[in-house]
C-alpha cells in the first residue's frame, strides 16, 4: 500500500477541504464578493459543495487505505487538486488575494497537489497490484453504467474545457447563471476528474471497488444537489429547460445508489474490503 506520509496528507486534505467547504457552503452570500475570483453566491455554494464532498472522499479513502479498494477515489482527488491548480495558474491575472478565504482556497489546492505528487510517487515506487478477484464480482450492467457515466460526464468536461463565452449552454442554459471562463474551466476540470477516475470502473471486476468509489463520491452528488435546491429560484425551467438536466443528472445517480448501498453495502466492513455478509453476493 501507499506510505504513511501519503495517508497523512490525504487526511490533511480532508480537514482542509472540510474547513473551506463549511465557509463557502454556509456563507456564500458573504464570501462570494471576496472569493479568489469573481463568482456568484450560487457558484460559491457549489464550490463549497465540491470541497465538502472532497473532504468526505479524502477521509474515507485515508480511513480505508487499501490501494486495490480506494485507487479510483484517489485518482479523482489527485486529478482535482492538480487540475484546479492549473486553472488558477492559467487565469492568474484574475485571481484576487485580498481575503483569507482566497488564501485558504489556494492553500487547500496546494496541499491537494502535494498529496497527488506524494501518492503518485509512491505508486511509481511500489506499483501496488490490483485487479485480482477479492470478493463479489461486478455485473455487465454495473460496468455498463460506469461507461454511460464516463461518456456523459466526459462530454460535459470536454465541452467546458473548449467552450467560449456565448456558446450554447454557457449563458444559463444548464447552469442557471452565466459563467466567466475562469469559472467554466474550474467546473470543467471538476467533471474531467470525475470522468477519468471512473474509467477503471468500466473494466473493474470487483464489486467492492465500485461500491467504495460510489460511497466516496456520494457526498459530492448529494451536497451539490442541495446547493441547487437552495438556489432553485435561479432556475427557469420553462424558458431554459436545460436546468432540468442539471438536477436530473445528479438525481439519476443519487437515487439508484441508495438502493445499491442497501443491497450490497459500501464495499467495506469490519473485516476490510471483503464484508463477510456480502462475500456470496452474485
3-state SS, residue 57: helix
Q: What is the pLDDT of residue 280?
A: 37
Q: What is the pLDDT of residue 246?
A: 85
The string of pLDDT tens digits covering residues 120-140 is 998 888 876 666 778 889 999
**DSSP string over 237-276:** TTT-THHHHHHHHHHHHHHHHHHHHHHH-SS-BTTBSS-G
Q: What is the pLDDT of residue 273?
A: 66
Q: What is the pLDDT of residue 124?
A: 87
Q: What is the pLDDT of residue 1?
A: 59
Residues of the chain falling short of pLDDT 50? 276-282
Whole-number Å distance between alpha carbons of 277 and 44: 42
Measured CA distances, 218 to 83, 130, 148, 221 (Å): 21, 23, 17, 5
Q: What is the pLDDT of residue 168?
A: 74
Q: By residue range, what is the domain housing residue 229?
A: 4-278
In this structure, the chain runs to a length of 282
Q: What is the pLDDT of residue 271?
A: 54
The string of pLDDT tens digits covering residues 161-219 is 999 888 876 777 788 888 999 999 999 999 999 999 999 999 999 999 999 999 999 99
User: In this structure, are residues 219 and 57 in contact, taking their beta carbons and an 8 Å threshold?
Assistant: yes
Hey, which bits of the chain come out as E strands? none
Three cell numbers at 138?
Answer: 461486478
- Helices first, then strands: H and E counts in the chain: 9, 0
Q: What is the pLDDT of residue 169?
A: 67
- Average confidence score pLDDT of the chain: 91
What is the largest distance, in Å, between two alpha-carbon atoms of the chain? Answer: 57
Give how many domains the chain has, as a whole number: 1
Q: What is the pLDDT of residue 208?
A: 94
Q: What is the pLDDT of residue 277?
A: 47
Q: What is the pLDDT of residue 193?
A: 98
Amino acid at each position: 500500500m501507499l506510505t504513511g506520509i501519503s495517508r497523512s496528507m490525504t487526511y490533511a486534505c480532508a480537514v482542509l477541504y472540510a474547513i473551506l467547504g463549511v465557509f463557502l457552503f454556509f456563507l456564500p452570500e458573504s464570501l462570494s464578493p471576496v472569493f479568489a475570483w469573481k463568482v456568484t453566491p450560487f457558484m460559491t455554494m457549489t464550490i463549497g459543495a465540491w470541497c465538502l464532498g472532497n473532504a468526505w472522499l479524502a477521509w474515507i479513502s485515508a480511513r480505508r487505505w487499501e490501494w486495490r479498494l480506494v485507487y479510483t477515489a484517489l485518482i479523482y482527488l489527485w486529478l482535482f487538486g492538480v487540475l484546479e491548480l492549473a486553472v488558477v495558474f492559467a487565469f492568474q491575472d484574475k485571481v484576487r488575494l485580498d481575503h483569507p478565504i482566497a488564501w485558504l482556497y489556494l492553500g487547500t489546492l496546494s496541499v491537494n497537489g502535494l498529496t497527488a505528487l506524494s501518492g503518485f510517487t509512491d505508486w511509481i515506487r511500489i506499483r501496488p497490484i490490483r485487479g485480482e478477484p477479492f470478493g463479489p464480482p461486478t455485473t455487465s450492467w454495473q460496468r455498463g453504467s460506469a461507461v454511460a457515466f464516463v461518456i456523459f460526464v466526459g462530454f460535459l468536461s470536454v465541452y467546458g474545457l473548449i467552450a467560449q463565452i456565448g456558446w450554447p449552454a454557457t449563458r444559463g442554459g444548464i447552469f442557471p447563471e452565466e459563467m466567466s471562463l475562469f469559472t467554466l474551466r474550474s467546473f470543467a476540470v471538476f467533471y474531467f476528474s470525475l470522468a477519468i477516475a471512473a474509467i477503471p470502473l468500466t473494466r473493474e471486476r470487483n464489486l467492492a471497488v465500485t461500491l467504495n468509489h460510489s460511497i466516496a463520491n456520494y457526498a459530492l452528488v448529494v451536497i451539490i444537489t442541495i446547493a441547487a435546491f437552495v438556489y432553485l429560484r435561479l432556475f427557469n425551467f420553462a424558458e431554459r429547460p436545460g436546468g432540468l438536466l442539471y438536477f436530473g443528472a445528479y438525481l439519476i445517480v443519487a437515487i439508484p445508489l441508495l438502493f445499491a448501498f442497501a443491497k450490497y453495502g459500501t464495499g467495506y466492513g469490519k473485516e476490510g474490503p471483503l464484508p463477510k455478509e456480502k462475500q456470496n453476493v452474485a
